[in-house]
Amino acid sequence: MSKSEGLPAADGPLVRLTLPDGQRLYAVVRRRRRERDGSWWYDLQVQLASQAEERGKLVAQPSSVDVRVPARHCAPVPGQDYTAVPTERYGVVPRWRIEEPVYFGAERGPSRVVHRGDCKAVRDLSRAVSTEQAREALGDAAAAPCPVCRPDRPLLSR
């Protein structure tokens, strides 16, 4: 029997999340962060049923919900690789960030914007990334470098 047999399909490493009422479910780890008080918190994504309409009928479909929980509520799942989970520490500025802009109205732009870690032009949801991830993102046609901090200069000049 393989270690992943019986686990739900996921696009990241899974943990067992214990809810306040004792229920347990699987969640995908998106990020972990050490806060200023020294505690660790995990950004997780869980799948819950949500109402949708399909060909005129109401159906239940999976819906992703993002939550931040104390690490003590999460238990590792054997066979899952957590080494690629972005880890942040309070007060430590990452070298690079990727922003996922939100556009309203007809105006559209890149789906991801690469920034230096200390760039003040970040407006929307962003996450810390490694140098290799930032370089890879800049190679994607759907991404663009920030016009303010210009991360492409140091990242692409080797």
- 99 and 137 share a domain? yes
Higher pLDDT, 110 or 103: 110
In this structure, are 100 and 125 located in the same domain?
A: yes
pLDDT one-digit tens code per residue, 18-28: 999 999 999 99
Residue 98 binned pLDDT confidence (cut-offs 50, 70, 90):
very high
Q: Is residue 86 part of a domain?
A: no
Question: Within a domain: residue 67?
Answer: yes
Task: Please check whether residue 6 lies inside any domain of the structure.
Answer: no
Q: Which of 76, 109, 124 is the last residue of a domain?
A: 76
Q: Is residue 84 part of a domain?
A: no
Above 50 in pLDDT, residue 123?
Answer: yes
Mean pLDDT of 77-101: 87
Mean pLDDT estimate for the chain: 88
* pLDDT digits 0-9 by tens, 2-16: 455 678 788 889 999
Task: Verify that 72 and 23 share a domain, yes or no.
Answer: yes
Residue 31 belongs to some domain of the structure: yes
Q: Over 90: is that where the pLDDT of 149 sits?
A: yes
Domain presence at residue 52? yes
Range of the structural domain that residue 132 is part of: 93-156
DSSP-assigned letters across all residues of the chain = --TTTTPPP-SS-EEEEEPTTS-EEEEEEEEEEE-TTS-EEEEEEEEEEEEEEETTEEEEEEEEEEEEEEGGGEEE-TT---TTS-EEETT---SEEEE-----TT----SEEEEETT-TT--S-EEEE-HHHHHHHHTSTTEEE-TTT-THHHHH--
pLDDT at 93 over 90: no
Q: What is the tally of structural domains in the chain?
A: 2
Report residue 148's pLDDT band, with 50, 70 and 90 as the boundaries: very high
